[in-house]
Structure 1
């Protein structure tokens, strides 16, 4: 399978008869090529964060995985830096085949959360389908979480996390497909744990993308386990062992994924998991509206709810 990452749209002049399969985010052509309907998404450099009072650096943690790390610039000028900051691992959305941690929209979102909540954000740049079929993005996100957790004793490879990060207060968050991967990470931590000193305090799911028998997802994941693959249809046993004490699920009333997001929260409550679930709903709003339009007043409301959740304010 070949990716369209570096292809111009002119290369995708094909007719209806050339299409073998149609999915929500891509067409599969009879010649084996896959045309992803990649949205225009401007990439921005780390200097973009200066507008928000945030320092940004990009770190390659393996040949396949990079992260964009956000740090409040105030920590470098503060007279008191003994209070370490919570760390938010963020996994962007895009249907497992689009978007980037280095794009303007996700860099802006990471900058806002860093500045507003006074936290360190680590945003994951994971492998996208079709260049790397699923479950590569799940594996990459796990690698990023392990990398973050490796700083729990202050001896990890990234000075910002060693010097300023409180690794006993990790939050895992993602929107859309990133929310799906966030759940899978927390279930895996509940099964095998993290290094001593690293602890996940909470999970924040924004318009999560779950589903049973999702044909597009199963096509992207050739090694899928069938319609109820627990990476897309959370299993009761995985819900029961989610490795944190608090979960925030953010829903949008007109989101086509509203129902599965609400069902996730309901099933988590009924699973026997011993934690607290909070649900926030934005009326008259659609999927990922807060990322697509950061100026929407309700986008600001979501950010403030995230800040309150991180700092455990009622």
Structure 2
């Protein structure tokens, strides 16, 4: 909806710059995204289409496929989870569409970009559950009988990656934890998880997260602040964490990197910092040198040409 003309006295909660809640129960998003959504496309390098993961609840995804794949060519599978404070953003947003398309073209992967339900209308854990359902749907194609032709015919499920930014990085971690505990279908190997500017508590946004998640265990909630026992079982072989020097979430990413190393998890982890930049700069300034550096490093991670290290 458009910004309201209501009096400030009608506002019950405000979480700038994400949303405000009025006394009558209405929710106003402060950065409406509807006008910035774009349809799937048939670009010169990448094709995309929208799929329905579930109809009750409604969980959608946009699937991306690079052009020119040979008849028997198998491509790594990327599961991407967008950011937006758990309350805004979309896999169909122009910025995310262009970003994931770029990764698909450069890394030559098939991507499943998840459109999860947003809080507060859909309280947390809806976003976590939707991302898990979409991940299971994608991995279900490993047996060669899945509903999506691109994934069935061209997905290499021995090379699966999960990635996300900000809130999406937090959700990516939680998907990796559930994968580690539940296991994966036969023929599936989760190679790596990439987290760009992840959120794991310790900032002013914590109050908003607790509001969006009515059933929580406070600031120590494992979905907000991963405990060692969760870090120790994340279901992948390597993790790449990006932080930005001027990002309020920088400490969150540094904390995660150090705690993961201490947890007893058997994989390898690398952290990359970009000086002088702030949160999500790679989306806000996608063509600047440091954004291109971030994206190039992520592409190399997805292609397996660099290995995360301690």
Normalised by the length of structure 1, the TM-score is 0.92
CA distance in 2: counterparts of 1:257 and 1:65, whole angstroms: 28
Query: Where does 1:8-27 land on structure 2 (aligned, <5 Å)?
Result: 8-9=2-3, 12-24=4-16, 25-27=18-20
Which consecutive aligned stretches of 4+ in structure 1 deviate over 4 angstroms post-superposition? none
Alpha-carbon contact 2:65-2:150 (below 8 Å) kept: yes
Question: Alignment partner of 1:98: what SS?
Answer: coil
Q: What does residue 229 of structure 1 align with?
A: 221
2:2 and 2:32 in contact (8 A); partners too: no
Deviations 1:164-205 (A, max 9, x none): 000121100000000000000111111111211122110000
Determine the C-alpha separation between the residues in 2 that align with 1:144 and 1:128.
15
1:222-257 C-alpha deviation (Å, 9 max, x unpaired): 111222111110111000001111000011111110
Matched residue count = 300
Q: CA RMSD in A?
A: 1.4
Query: In the TM superposition, what whole-angstrom CA distance separates every residue of 1:43-102 from its partner, at most 9, and x where no partner exists?
Result: 11112x505x10101101111111100000111xx4xx4331100000000001101101
Deviations 1:129-174 (A, max 9, x none): 1221111011000001000110111111111001000012110000
What CA distance in whole angstroms lies between the structure 2 residues aligned with 1:282 and 1:154?
A: 41
Instruction: Report the secondary structure of 1:149's partner residue.
Output: helix
Partner of 2:21: 28
Tell me the equivalent position of 1:244: 236
How far did residue 39 of structure 1 move?
Answer: 4.3
2:178 counterpart residue number: 188
Displacement of 1:212: 4.8
Post-superposition Cα deviations, 1:19-50, rounded to whole Å, max 9, x if no partner, equal 22232322222222222212456111112x50
Q: Deviation at 1:103?
A: 1.1
Structure 2 distance, partners of 1:114, 1:185, is 21
**TM (normalized to structure 2)?**
0.93
What residue in structure 1 maps to residue 61 of structure 2?
Answer: 67
Give yes or no for contact 2:177–2:233 (8 Å, CA) kept in 1: yes
